[in-house]
Structure 1
Amino acid sequence: MPVSPDMAEDLAAAVADLYEAAEGVLIDKIRRALAEGWDSPVWAELKLAAVGNLQAAITEVIAALQADASGAIGQALTEAYDRGQQAAVAELGALGVGQAAAAAVALPTAPVVDRLAQAVIADTGPVYLRMLRTSVDAYRDVIARASSAPLLGAQTRRQAAQRAFDDFAARGVRGFVDSAGRSWELRSYIEAAMRSATARASLEAHSDRLGAAGVDLVLVSQAPEECPLCRPWERTVLARSGPPGRRTVAVEHATEDGETVRVEVAGSLDEARAAGLMHVNCRHRVSAYLPGVSRIPAVQPSRGTYEDSQRQRYYERQIRKWKRLADAGLDEATVRARRARVRAYQARVRELVAETGLPRKRHREQLTTAR
């Protein structure tokens, strides 16, 4: 069966769920700490005196997360690599070619998985310190803003605290900047890192298995709502090895001994991936191309545009944002109003899906919590 980045999407999401659940716990702990003793005239003094207790509680949550996440990362990458290998074996077996027997020989997973796992763990290492610092800073900021606002006659202490706490709950733990200078929220940052790693694991396993079976050419599928980076590589043949660049190669027929077939190769697989093919969230698939047997598929109409899919992703982020804000509400009226915003964005998703035929991915609208 063909392989694609979305083959391991669920594995990346499962790891990201751990971080999102921990973030939800942190928001809840801060909310509870702020709400306790609300009517006391010395509320601010009590809250500042309790910073150490809150910091200890947050540190405990983060330590548990770090232990769970390290194991989950390795497990997810091992599973992704195994899926890539199994996909190659199933694909060649279904084609009924002689290479299937060679592909069925197990390849060692440890070196690749260990390398990818260590890279992810290193990339996400700063996350834990950031979670601690951001949470404590948010707690202090709420106290400061709630204490000063009544003196200015601008708003009540509860209103000021809600507004300050909202700022934190809306953005979550942020400050993770990628190579392009973009700032990411916690879950998005972790999920992007894991999707990249799990996709690489499954793609490398698939390619390695094809190589072990003597298959050097692969075919890129067409994908709905393709992005501009991937579009040039759709429905093309790529070489697993060899130099970059378009060329015509003469290769032996996959099933007819002594027969030569000329194949138009658009470039190398590494070249296409470096140009953006198989990026995070890519829906393209790569399969074995058998000269004289495989056929390039006909063009299929898309359900919508790339811009439509990006609009759907925006609505999903807004749904999660307003769910976080509802969890951060300090009174029932605020919670109800924010749940109404959630329903409004869910309605927009339903309208978009009905108009375009895009699939609705409900799991991307959900918050993962441990409460």
Structure 2
Amino acid sequence: MPVSPAMAEDLAAAITVLYEDAEIALIEILRKALAEGIDSPRWAELKLRSIGDLREAVEAVAQALQTDANGAVAQALATAYGRGRQAAVAELGALDIGRELQARRILPGAPAVDRLAASYARDTRPLYQRITRAVLDVFRNVTSRAASTQLLTGQSRRDASQRALNDFARRGVTGFIDSRGHAWELAAYAEMAVRSITARAAIEGHIDALGEIGAALVMVSDAPLECERCRPWEGEILALQGEAGPHTVRLDHAIQPSSLFARTETVAVHVAGSLAAARAAGLFHPNCRHSLGLYLPGVTTRPPHHATPGTTYEDSQRQREIERTIRQWKRRQAAAIDEKTRKAAAAKVRDWQAAARANVAAHDAIIRKPAREQIGQAR
């Protein structure tokens, strides 16, 4: 059975909910901190005195999130790695029961899982440090400028607070910069990171199992709505080890004649490069639809091309954008200080849900997934 990032999507989705729940909790903490006593003439003074309590509440959320997320990721990685190995076992079992039994006797490689878990914990550590700073920055900015804002613009502190909360709900906890220099907000980065690393665990489990029985080559599937990064690798043969560039090798046919006197047949195989090079170029990025299967010389054939008339990769990404916007407006609902603001945000949610339905209706290859429009629900 081929392996693909989709094999671990459910694991990543469940962990992403932890980050979204934390964001809602942070918005609620900040909303209550700003709204309390908002009509008092001493509001700004009282807010600055209460900043220690706010810091303590935010740090508690950040620490709980870090503990829960790291633990959940470690468990998800072990599960994903195991699924990848079982996919390899299924492929081998269809060919040779002896090989299947050999693969089953080999215990999962805990070092690979531990390495990935440690990498995730290290890469996301700055995220939790940023949470407290981001919330306190919003709080300080609103409270310190409330008096001058009212004098200069006539805007009430209630309006100023709501405006800051709306902005915070829209952007989330921002400021985290990845290794490529791209800025992320909390939930978006977490979703990308978790999807990426659980998919990697599934693929590593698969190729580790294949490598243990001497398999050397794999083939990439042809997937619908492929992106520019993946398209060059569709249907190509990749080496688990060895040369990174394109090359041709001659290998024994995977199914040899049973007679001892028959001549051994060989097959010329064009190898597009190494799996490591393909992944470095973007293959199996988060949300990638491609899969990877064992390649048998002379037996495995190139997969058929999946045409998607009237639908492009960009159309599918538009659906993802709409889903993110729906979740953003739902966060705005949570940040509303008064009923009028809450109703306005709810109306925006309905508008964007209509946009989601329209995009699906216009493209047969796109499926609406309402769970992806929810906050705090596995998708």
Q: Does 1:305 align with 2:319?
A: no
In 2, the alpha carbon distance for the partners of 1:156 and 1:19 equals 32
Q: Which moved more, 1:220-229 or 1:290-299?
A: 290-299
Q: Which moved more, 1:146-155 or 1:159-168?
A: 146-155
Output aligned runs, 1:149-164, within 5 Å: 149-164=149-164
- 1:350 pairs with one of 347, 354, 357: 357
In 2, the alpha carbon distance for the partners of 1:237 and 1:97 equals 25
Q: Which moved more, 1:124-133 or 1:29-38?
A: 29-38
Change (3 A) 1:97 1:14: same
In 2, the alpha carbon distance for the partners of 1:111 and 1:221 equals 28
> Does the aligned pair in 1 maintain the 2:27–2:165 contact within 8 Å?
no
Percent of aligned pairs with the same amino acid: 56
What CA deviation, in whole Å up to 9, does each residue of 1:131-154 have, x standing for no partner? 011111111222234332221243
Partner of 1:359: 367
Q: Which moved more, 1:182-191 or 1:355-364?
A: 355-364
Change (3 A) 1:253 1:363: same
In 1, the alpha carbon distance for the partners of 2:332 and 2:142 equals 15
Partner of 2:327: 320
Structure 2 unaligned regions, length at least 5: 258-263
Partner of 2:268: 262
Output aligned runs, 1:224-263, within 5 Å: 224-257=224-257, 258-263=264-269
What CA deviation, in whole Å up to 9, does each residue of 1:29-80 have, x standing for no partner? 1111222222222122122211111111112222222221221121111111
> Does the aligned pair in 1 maintain the 2:89–2:103 contact within 8 Å?
yes
Q: Does 1:217 align with 2:217?
A: yes
Q: Does 1:45 align with 2:52?
A: no
In 1, the alpha carbon distance for the partners of 2:237 and 2:205 equals 19
Partner of 1:283: 289
> Does the aligned pair in 1 maintain the 2:82–2:108 contact within 8 Å?
no
In 2, the alpha carbon distance for the partners of 1:102 and 1:251 equals 23
SS in 2 for 1:301: coil
How far is 1:86 from its partner?
Answer: 0.9
SS in 2 for 1:214: coil
In 2, the alpha carbon distance for the partners of 1:77 and 1:60 equals 26
Partner of 1:120: 120
How far is 1:327 from its partner?
Answer: 0.8
Partner of 2:260: none
Partner of 2:339: 332
How far is 1:248 from its partner?
Answer: 2.3
TM-score, normalised by the number of residues in structure 1: 0.94
How far is 1:96 from its partner?
Answer: 4.9
How far is 1:261 from its partner?
Answer: 2.2
How far is 1:185 from its partner?
Answer: 0.8
In 2, the alpha carbon distance for the partners of 1:237 and 1:332 equals 59
> Does the aligned pair in 1 maintain the 2:219–2:293 contact within 8 Å?
yes
Partner of 2:301: 295
TM-score, normalised by the number of residues in structure 2: 0.92
How far is 1:98 from its partner?
Answer: 5.0
> Does the aligned pair in 2 maintain the 1:107–1:209 contact within 8 Å?
no
Partner of 2:280: 274
How far is 1:21 from its partner?
Answer: 1.0
The one-letter code of the counterpart of 1:367 is I
In 2, the alpha carbon distance for the partners of 1:227 and 1:272 equals 14
SS in 1 for 2:105: coil
Q: How many residues align?
A: 369
In 2, the alpha carbon distance for the partners of 1:104 and 1:252 equals 26
Q: CA RMSD in A?
A: 1.7
SS in 1 for 2:108: coil
In 1, the alpha carbon distance for the partners of 2:314 and 2:64 equals 39
Partner of 1:5: 5
SS in 2 for 1:223: coil
Output aligned runs, 1:197-208, within 5 Å: 197-208=197-208
In 2, the alpha carbon distance for the partners of 1:352 and 1:94 equals 41
The one-letter code of the counterpart of 2:304 is A
How far is 1:26 from its partner?
Answer: 1.1
Change (3 A) 1:97 1:247: farther
In 2, the alpha carbon distance for the partners of 1:125 and 1:176 equals 10
In 1, the alpha carbon distance for the partners of 2:210 and 2:134 equals 46
SS in 1 for 2:203: helix
